[in-house]
């Protein structure tokens, strides 16, 4: 890992997402892309600072994640290698700053990769790690995308107010990072958005928006949405049009809607309404 800068950040939260296995419909990576640009229109001083680059040669199989060739306006060719970058975001309007970790899921040496990343988290005095993921699920695109918050240890789950993870089976790099945090005594949670499996081919801004909203609620902060809400609405309309062209898909979506509505009806409560209202008030106070 090449360290470029160790900025002075206030009680920073490290937020992590990778493209690849943990990133259905690019929901998680899209959320981090939004975070890196969210404050630019409102505050010119909030500019991501590059903290570190992960050395691509050590952690990536280039036959799995191939380098990309691009040509600029002067017909000059350049190569972009797959990798991971770490950025710092100092946000004066918030009580805590952010450390953003974004890139391609590494192909190998996950223990070394995780150790290097958490060593940097210690150097930056990170107090909390939040990993973001998105997965395919039997859920309708016409309803709010469900985001599940979990922790890998019961004590952390109880203290931070999330569920304990019950998942067993193959895991991605996010699972390894969560385990590494637990072993080091770093507080860590994971937020996962459930993306409709029949609408996973294109990027889903609705999944990214759901993760951004969940981050706001968990960290008690306000994140500028920019055009993300509009993009989410347009995505939903485009999937509506695709579903309308196939009666089998339309019937399937209707069945999913009925199942989800029946399951969630008992859970609709004043707490949910209050959470939405609190998010609205946070944005109003920011404006």
Top-tier CATH class for 2-286: alpha beta
Residues 6 or more apart whose Cβ sits within 8 Å of residue 19: 26, 29, 103, 104, 105
Q: Could you give the percent of the chain with pLDDT greater than 70?
A: 90
- Residue 278 CA to residue 287 CA, distance in Å, equals 14
Q: Among candidates 129, 218, 216, 209, which has minimal Cα distance to 177?
A: 129
Over 156-199, what HEC string results?
HHHHHCCEECCCCCCCCHHHHHHHHHHHHCCEEEEEEEEEEHHH
Give the model's pLDDT for residue 285: 64
Contact 108, 101 (CB under 8 A): no
pLDDT tens, position by position, 91-139? 988 899 999 999 999 999 999 999 999 999 999 999 999 999 999 998 8
End-to-end CA distance of the chain: 38
Which range among 12-16, 114-118, 181-185, 251-255 shows the weakest confidence by mean pLDDT?
251-255
* Sign (positive or negative) of CA dihedral 106, 112, 118, 124: negative
Q: Among candidates 183, 172, 58, 65, which has minimal Cα distance to 112?
A: 58
Beta strands at 49-53 and 84-89: parallel, antiparallel or unpaired: antiparallel
The structure tokens 């890196």 sit at 36
13 or 167: which leads in pLDDT: 13
pLDDT tens, position by position, 188-236? 999 999 999 888 877 999 999 999 999 999 999 999 999 999 999 999 9
Count the alpha carbons within 13 Å of 120 in the hemisphere toward its beta carbon.
Answer: 28
């Amino acid at each position: 890992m090449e360290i470029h800068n160790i900025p002075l950040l206030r009680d920073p939260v490290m937020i992590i997402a990778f493209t690849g296995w943990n990133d259905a419909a690019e929901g998680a990576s899209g959320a981090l892309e939004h975070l890196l640009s969210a404050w630019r229109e409102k505050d010119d001083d909030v500019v991501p600072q590059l903290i570190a680059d992960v050395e691509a040669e050590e952690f990536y199989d280039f036959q799995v994640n191939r380098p990309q060739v691009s040509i600029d306006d002067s017909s000059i060719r350049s190569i972009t290698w797959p990798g991971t970058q770490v950025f710092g975001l100092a946000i004066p309007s918030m009580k805590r700053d952010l450390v953003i970790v974004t890139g391609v899921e590494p192909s190998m040496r996950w223990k070394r990769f995780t150790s290097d990343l958490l060593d940097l988290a210690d150097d930056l005095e990170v107090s909390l790690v939040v990993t973001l993921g998105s997965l395919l699920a039997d859920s309708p695109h016409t309803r709010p995308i469900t985001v599940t918050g979990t922790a890998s240890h019961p004590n952390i789950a109880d203290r931070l107010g999330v569920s304990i993870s019950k998942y067993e089976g193959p895991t991605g790099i996010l699972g390894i990072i969560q385990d590494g945090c637990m072993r080091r005594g770093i507080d860590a949670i994971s937020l996962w958005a459930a993306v409709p499996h029949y609408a996973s081919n294109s990027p889903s801004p609705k999944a990214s928006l759901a993760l951004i909203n969940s981050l706001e609620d968990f960290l008690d902060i306000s994140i500028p949405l920019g055009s993300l809400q509009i993009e989410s609405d347009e995505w939903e309309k485009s999937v509506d049009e695709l579903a309308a062209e196939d009666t089998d898909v339309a019937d399937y979506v209707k069945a999913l809607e009925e199942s989800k509505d029946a399951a969630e009806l008992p859970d609709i409560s004043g707490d949910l309404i209050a959470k939405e209202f609190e998010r609205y008030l946070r944005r109003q106070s920011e404006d």
